């Protein structure tokens, strides 16, 4: 079977932030993967460890459906969004991202109870610092990426690192 050849695509972020008036924590990714875009929700790649990490940290079952994922995070006052509104990307590779137009993180948090911002991975962290930090005035904590491309971190180590850094209160 021939491997699919990926090309650069200029894309807009396909879905809205997950947030309500009770959220105090915002977790920012970079841009949805191809699999996330296909299921129309965050961290949709079956090998991404985000949902396993979150489930361990909040002591809940790993959600298996988008509605349950939404409910689980909102129940624990956790919002999700991505730093990128629009970009050119090849497949799902953060290293290929260029022509970035950021999301308006300040507008999102201005109408919320967000007190803590966490970036899922270095790309999200760098872009947050470049485009949003001065506007929001909230220093973000950069967490190790939950992506399957982050092979340096086992699931157990990700849970440990996220658990030491993230304040879900």
**Distance separating alpha carbons of residues 71 and 51, to the nearest angstrom:** 13
Please report, to the nearest 10 degrees, the dihedral formed by the alpha carbons of residues 52, 161, 41, 29 taken in order: -170
**Distance separating alpha carbons of residues 73 and 23, to the nearest angstrom:** 9
Within 8 A by CB and 6+ apart from 125, the residues are 119, 140, 142
CB atoms within 10 A of CB 75: 11
Q: Which of 48, 103, 120, 150 is catalytic?
A: 48
- Whether 120 is a known active-site residue: answer no
Positions annotated as catalytic residues are 48
């Amino acid at each position: 079977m021939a491997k699919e050849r990926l090309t650069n695509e200029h894309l807009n972020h396909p879905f809205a932030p997950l947030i309500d008036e009770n959220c105090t924590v915002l977790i920012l990714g970079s841009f949805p993967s191809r699999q996330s875009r296909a299921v129309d929700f965050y961290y949709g790649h079956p090998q991404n460890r985000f949902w396993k990490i979150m489930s361990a940290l909040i002591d809940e079952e790993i959600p298996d459906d988008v509605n349950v994922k939404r409910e689980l995070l909102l129940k624990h006052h956790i919002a999700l969004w991505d730093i990128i509104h629009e970009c050119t990307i090849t497949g799902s590779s953060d290293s290929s991202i260029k022509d970035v137009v950021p999301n308006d993180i300040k507008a999102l948090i201005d109408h919320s109870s967000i007190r803590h911002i966490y970036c899922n991975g270095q790309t999200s962290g760098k872009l947050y610092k470049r485009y949003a930090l001065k506007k929001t005035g909230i220093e973000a904590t950069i967490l190790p990426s939950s992506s399957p491309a982050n092979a340096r971190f086992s699931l157990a180590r990700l849970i440990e690192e996220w658990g030491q850094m993230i304040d879900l209160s």
